[in-house]
Structure formats: structure tokens, C-alpha cells
Amino acid sequence: MKYFKVVVISLFFISCGNSDKKADAPKPTKFSNSIEDASGFTIEHAENYTLIEVKDPWPNAVESFRYVVHSGENKLPEDLKFDQEIKLPIKKIIVTSTTHIPPLEALNEEDKLIGFPGLHYISSEKTRELIDAGKISEIGQNENLNTETLLNLEPNVVVGFGINAANKSLNNIEKMGIPVIYNGDWTEKTPLGKAEWIKFFGTLFGKEKKADSIYSEIKSEYLKAKELAKTSEKIPDVIGGSMFKDVWYMPYGNSWIAQFIKDAHANYLYAQTEGDGSMSLSFESVLEKAGEADFWMSAGQFTSYNELLNESDHYNRFSAVKEKKVYSVSLSKGETGGVIFYELGPQRPDIVLKDLISIFHPELLQDHERVFFKPLND
């Protein structure tokens, strides 16, 4: 459940100050690569520092967090308010979600990663080579970090994510003088909003322009694919989610995956619903509403129709099952079993969208090789 952020790191930030900051330093202005699609953070830039504000560290957060990033060569203004101070360059970093790995790699900063909770979850071949070489240490699990190991690694910063502000181990790490900062990429509702968090890491490594360029290319590819999908006359009906213990967990219509389906020019049958997380539905209600749906996307952990029907032969009542139009992200896994979609998908929504278009409208992307969504095996 790590990938869905059901089990997540929760942080409590202690406000900090700096008594010797220079009062006449310039006030921040919007940085040139201002945030376009993400709603959860902003970036402001001044002559001697950059300020990141994370507005949505978790769903329904009532407070935001401000991080000042600078070289340490100049004093900060006395009236500047912030929660954590990050001094560049960052030579050693710890991150806590697999979604943090692709941005590090895209910026060519994966060699700065020294620790991660649950190394087996990481799928990227590039980062796994570093793990195999012993350059990245295991630091436990998100709810039970090995504080001693983490402190011995002496990171310049720890990047976490949370559902609230109550993680004792990270609070203790902060008290030891190691900056802990939130990354709220997982709270974004849109595909492009998630991808834009590469600018968060770009600021941490002084690579704002590179991050901006990477995001611009991803956005351009995404929008071109979206326009291409509109040229199809077909609009197939689609359902998502999967069953667990007689409950069908269906994505809400304002969810990340529902936006992908819409942009792929398909009709998500639960598009009018809104909420956080997933809807809990009975099998019978889904069958009544979606029994004739053309496609069923991301069918849980199932990788074959045999597995699906062994779980319940009632699935055969769905047209998507009978016509073998069930697709899952669980067939694309890394070397140690991590599902690639939950690691790379948020950073590369353009590829996710092309996968879906090639499924819903195969005539439009005949040469596309799917990365995430694969048909269930017979």
C-alpha cells in the first residue's frame, strides 16, 4: 500500500529562526519557472535565497510549510518566516516515497540518495544499481524508521510525506538538527500537477531551469496526446478499481486516474462522483452500472484471467472480462517486485496517457509500446 500513500510518513515541523539574518535582504518574487499546474506548492525567488511553500502536505491540511533554500553565503532577512532552512549544495539526501526516485534521476542527482525506507519497493534499474553497490542504505519502514541508522548517514535533508503531523521518529530527527521537509506530490488531483513536483527537487539541487525544461517537455507531450485522442469518434465506457473482501474500491471521478481516462477520450462511468481516496461499492451495484463497460482498468493485483476468475467466477458477468479487455498495472514490475506505475507514473503522465490512448483508440498510436498498462494474461 506504500504506493497509494495509505502507509505514509507523518511529520511535525518546528519553526526555526535565525538571529543573525540581514534585515535589508530583498523580498522574494515569483521565480521564472512559476508553478503552472500543481496546486500544492509555490516557489518564490529572491537574490540570495529561494522559498518553497508546501500548501497541501496532506489532504485537508490546515497549515502550510515554508522552506528557505540558499547557499549560506549571505545572511537572510530578519523578518523572513520559515519552517526549515536548507543549505546548498545538498550532497546527501534521504527520500521516503518511490515517487521521489524518478525526479532525482531526471535531474541526474540519484547519486546523492543515501537512504530509503523499504529498498525492495524501488523498481528503477538505475537506482537499483546503486542499491546493489551498497550506496543506498535501508532505513526501516515508514512508520518505524531506524533513527540510529538515519542519523549515522548524516543526510543534509530528509524528504518525507504524511497524512498528518505525528511521526515521532522524524520529530526526533529534526531535534537532532537534520532538516525534514514535506513533499506533497501525492495530494495533487491532476496528472500534470503531480509531475510538476520535479520543480520542488530542482530547487533543492539548484537545477530550477533543468526541472522547468523537463516539465515543459512532459506537459507538451501530454497535451499533444490529449488532442490526438479527441480525433477518435469512439468514446468507450470505462471502469476502474478492484475488489477486496467483497468491497469494490472505485476511484472517484475527481481522482488522478479518472482524469487520465477523460483525457484519453473515454467515458469513466463514475466521473460525476467526488471525494478523497476511493468509493466503497458492492459487487452488485458495480455490475448493475458497469456490467457492459468496454474496459476495466487496473484490476488490483491480478495478472491473469485465471487468477481473476479463481477469486470469483461472477467476474465473468462483466463484458470487459468476457471480451478480455481488462488491463492492469501489476504486470509491469521491477526486479524486486515493485509496481513501476506507482513509482514512475506520477512523473511521466505523458506515457500513462499514451498507454491508455493506445488501448482505447489503438488506431491512433499503433507503434506505441505500453509501459504501465498491460492486458491480463490468459
Q: Give the span between the Cα atoms of 80 and 240, in whole angstroms.
A: 46
Q: Which amino acid is at 227?
A: E
Q: Give the span between the Cα atoms of 259 and 262, in whole angstroms.
A: 5
Q: Quick one: angle between helices 208-229 and 349-360, nearest 10? A: 10
Q: Which CATH class is domain 230-375?
A: alpha beta
pLDDT, one tens digit per residue, over 283-299 is 999 999 999 999 999 87
pLDDT, one tens digit per residue, over 95-104 is 999 999 999 9
pLDDT reading at 338 higher than 90: yes
Instruction: Let me know if the fold of 2-219 is the same as that of 230-375.
Output: yes
pLDDT reading at 156 higher than 60: yes
Return the higher-pLDDT residue of 165 and 288: 288
Of the pLDDT bands very low, low, confident and very high (cuts 50, 70, 90), residue 56 is: confident
Return the higher-pLDDT residue of 5 and 350: 350
The torsion defined by the Cα of 356, 357, 361 and 366, in degrees rounded to 10, comes to -110
Question: How do the domains of the chain map onto residue ranges?
Answer: 2-219, 230-375
Residue showing cell 509531475: 195
Return the higher-pLDDT residue of 34 and 190: 190
Q: Give the span between the Cα atoms of 30 and 51, in whole angstroms.
A: 10
Quote the pLDDT of residue 165: 63
Quote the pLDDT of residue 245: 81
Strands of 65-70's sheet in order across: 29-30, 41-45, 50-54, 65-70, 84-87
Greatest mean pLDDT range, 52-61, 168-177, 193-202, 308-317: 193-202
pLDDT reading at 374 higher than 50: yes
What percentage of residues in the chain have a pLDDT greater than 70? Answer: 90
pLDDT reading at 14 higher than 70: no
Residue showing cell 481522482: 255
Q: Which CATH class is domain 2-219?
A: alpha beta
Residue 11 contacts residue 81 (beta carbons within 8 Å): no
Residue 56 contacts residue 40 (beta carbons within 8 Å): yes
Quote the pLDDT of residue 13: 32
pLDDT, one tens digit per residue, over 169-201 is 777 888 889 999 999 999 998 999 999 999 999
pLDDT, one tens digit per residue, over 104-153 is 999 999 999 999 999 999 999 999 999 999 999 999 987 778 989 999 99
3-state secondary structure (DSSP) of residue 22: coil
From 174, 195, 197, 171, select the one nearest 184 (Cα to Cα): 197
